[in-house]
Structure 1
Amino acid sequence: MVSTVQNTDIEQKDAEHAVVVAMTFKAVFGSDDGDDVYGAGVAFTLLQALQTVNERLLLENPSEMLLFDIILITTDRQQQQQSDRIMSSTRHHGLQIHRFCFSCEDDFTDSLLQNKVHLFLSTDKNETVQAASRGVLSALVDHQTTLCSSQQLKVVFCGDSIVQPDADINAASRQAAEVFSAQLGEMRRRFGALDSPLSIVVMTSSGGRDSCCSALRTLRTRGLSVDEAHCLAGAPRGIILSVLRPHFQLSDGLSGLQD
C-alpha cells in the first residue's frame, strides 16, 4: 500500500509543470544516532542544490512553474512509524521536501509511477534497476555526492549510451531520459552563460571526437545544450569526475555510470 503526505510547512509545486524528483530516505538522511532529528545523508548537498535552482528560478520569475518538486520515499516500516520525526528532521535542516511517500519494498516502484516521478535517486543499485525496469529514469548517489556544491547542480550525461543506445533498454526508460533531458534543457535556458545554478556536462568514454559531437547533436535535438563536453577516448573517468564533482550521472535508461 502506498501513502503520500504533503508537507504543509512549505508551498506545494504545480505537479503538472514541475520536474518531480524522488529520493530515498537513506539517501537524504544519515544513520539513526538516537537524536531527535536525523543527520545528513549522502544526498544532502544534492537536495540543497535542487533548492538553489528553485530559488534562482523564482528570483528570475516569481510565477515560474518549471521547478523541482521533491518527494522523499521510505520503505522501512520502523521509519514509517516515526513519520513525525522525519518531518521534523526536514524542518530542522530547512529541506524543501514537498511530499513524503510511505510504501513497502514490494511496491515502491508503484509509488514512483503514481507520483509521476521524472527522476529517482537512491544509494541502492537494486532499487535504481527496479525503477528503470518500470520506465523511471534513475541514478545512483554515493559518498562522492557529499563533496559536491550546494550552490550549483551539476549533472553528467553519458554520451556513449546516447550515441549507441543499449538494445536491452526498454522504450519507456529511453523516453523518460529524453523527457528529463528536455525539462533540464528548458530550465538551463532560464539562466545566462555565467553564474548559472545548473550545469550540464556530457562525457564520452569511448570513441573519438566524432562520438562526442554526435552525443552533443542528439542532446540538442532534445532541447538540451551543455556547458562542458569531455571526450575521454578510452581514458579512465575517475580523474575527470573527481574534478567535475557531479551530483549524479545519467545514461539513457540506465541507472547511473560505473567508474
Structure 2
Amino acid sequence: MSKTPAPRVSLVVAISSRALFDLDASHRIFETEGVDAYCRYQIGREEEILEPGVAFPLVKKLLALNAQLGERGKVEIILLSRNSSDTGLRVLNSARHHGLDISRAAFAGGSSPYRYVAAFGAHLFLSTDPNDVRLALEAGCAAATILPRAASPAPAADDGPLRIAFDGDAVIFSDEAERIFRNEGLEAFNATESRAAREPLSAGPLKGFLIAVHQIQALFPAQDPPLRTALITSRGAPSHERVVRTLREWNIRIDEALFLGGLPKGVFLKAFAADIFFDDQEVHCDAARLHVATGHVPHGVANG
C-alpha cells in the first residue's frame, strides 16, 4: 500500500515594486511631471537594471530557502504593482537580472493592487504605500508598510539565517491588552494580564503570516535552522506569561522572546540581526529602522 505524500507547505509573500527595488527617482517624476512622463521614463530605461530596495535582502533570503526545502515546501514572492505591464517590464527585467525567481505578478495600471493579495493566497503584503497597506488590512490580509531606509542603516548580512522579528500586541496578537494600557495605565495593564494569564489573546493581523513561517520552520532541523523568529516586545513580567501561554495554545514556535519592560527595541533588534521587524507603533518603527528593515503595521489603538 503506497503512502500518501505529505502536503507541500507554502509561504507566499506579495510585495510592491517600490519595496523591492529603488524606484525613488522614477517616483519623483511621477509626482512632479505626471503619468505620461513617468511612462516615458520607465519605457526608455527598461533595460537599465534597478538597484535593490529596502526589502530586497529579505526577498533574496526568502527565495534562498527553496534550495533547502526541495519537494517539502516552497516560498513564493508575488510582485504587486500600480504600474502598467508596459512600465512594469523594467521591474521584471531587474528581478531576472538579480536572480530572483519571481514568476507571478499583477500590474494594476494605476489602481491599488491590494485586491490581488487574497486572490494570490499571499500570507503577507509588503508595500511602501500606507494607503494600500491599510486597504489590505481592512480586507483581512496581513500587511505592513516598508519604511524608507534611515540615514545610516546597519547593512543586512547576506549570509546566515533569515531572521524575522515581531512585536506582540496589535501585530501577532490583538490590541485588547494595549487598549487597557493606554486607557488605564501600566498597573491596570499588569493586573489584567496577570488575571487573564491562562486566557489566550485574540489573533492580531500577522498571526496567519507567523503560522505560515512556523510551518516552513518545522521542515528544518531545530538545530541551526536557516530561518529564525523572535518576539521583541515592550512587555515585561508579569505580563509575559499570557504571551507565552498564547503561543503555546496556538502551537507556534518562537525561537527567541525578548521581554524588554519598556526598554528601547533598536539595539536588541541589531543584536538579533533581524532582516525585518514588524511593529504597530510608529515611534518604535522609527527607532528600529536605524538598525534593521522595518514594517509598520497600521492596526489597533495606536493607529487611531
Q: CA deviation at 1:116?
A: 2.0
User: Alpha carbon RMSD of aligned pairs, Å?
Assistant: 3.0
Aligned match of 1:186:
215
CA contact (8 A) 1:18 1:68 kept: yes
Number of residue equivalences: 231
Give secondary structure in 1 for the equivalent of 2:169.
helix
**Residue identity in the other structure for 2:83:** D
1:138-149 equivalent positions in 2, closer than 5 A: 138-142=143-147, 143=149, 147-149=155-157
Greater relative contact order, per chain length (Cα 8 Å cut-off, separation 6+): 1
Contact 1:125 1:255 in 2 (8 A): no
Give the aligned partner of residue 50 of structure 2. 38
- In structure 1, the residue matched to 2:17 is 25
Query: Which of the numbers 71, 79, 83 marks the counterpart of 2:78?
Result: 71
Alpha-carbon deviations, 1:228-258, whole Å to 9, x = none?
Answer: 110110111122123223233346xx59863
**Structure 1, residues 35-88: CA drift from partner, whole Å, max 9, x if none?**
622221111110111012222222xxxx21x321110111034xx323333222
Deviation at 1:29, TM superposition (A): 1.0
Q: Counterparts of 1:51 and 1:90 in 2: how far apart (Å)?
A: 12
Asked if structure 1 preserves the Cα contact closer than 8 Å seen for 2:80 and 2:106, the reply is yes
Question: How far apart are the structure 1 equivalents of 2:154 and 2:121?
Answer: 27
Q: CA deviation at 1:198?
A: 0.5
Give ranges in structure 2 of 5+ residues lacking alignment: 1-7, 27-44, 177-201, 288-304
Structure 1 residue 157 and structure 2 residue 166: aligned? yes
The 2-side partners of 1:203 and 1:189 are apart by: 21
The answer to whether the aligner puts 1:55 opposite 2:67 as a matched pair is yes
Query: What's the CA shift for 1:201?
Result: 0.2
Matches of 2:14 and 2:172, distance apart in 1? 27
Aligned to 2:103: 98
TM-score (norm 2): 0.66
Secondary structure, counterpart of 1:94 in structure 2: coil
Q: What is the match of residue 116 of structure 1?
A: 121
Q: Report if aligned partners of 1:30, 1:38 keep a CA contact under 8 Å in 2.
A: yes
Q: Does 1:242 align with 2:270?
A: yes
Residue 131 of structure 2 is aligned to residue 126 of structure 1: yes
Mapped to 2, the partners of 1:148 and 1:38 lie a distance apart of: 19
Query: Alpha-carbon deviation of 1:217?
Result: 2.4
Residues 111 and 225 of structure 1: CA distance in aligned 2, closer, same or farther (over 3 Å): same
Rounded to whole Å, the distance in 1 between the matches of 2:106 and 2:281 is 21
Q: Confirm or deny: 8 A CA contact 2:165 2:229 kept in the other structure.
A: yes
Kindly indicate whether the alpha-carbon contact (under 8 Å) linking 2:175 and 2:204 is maintained by their aligned counterparts in 1: no
Partner SS, residue 181 of structure 1: helix
1:71 counterpart letter in structure 2? I
Q: For the structure 1 residues 156 and 92, does the alpha-carbon distance in structure 2 shift closer, same or farther, using more than 3 Å as the test?
A: same
Matched, 1:225 2:234: no
The TM-score, its normalising length taken from structure 1, stands at 0.76
> Which amino acid counterpart does residue 116 of structure 2 have in structure 1?
S
Identify the residue that residue 10 of structure 1 maps to in structure 2.
none
Structure 1 unmatched runs, 5+: 1-15, 168-172
Deviations 1:103-128 (A, max 9, x none): 14544221112212210112233322
- Looking at structure 2, the residues matched to 163 and 56 of structure 1 have their Cα atoms a distance apart, in angstroms, of 27
Structure of higher CA gyration radius: 2
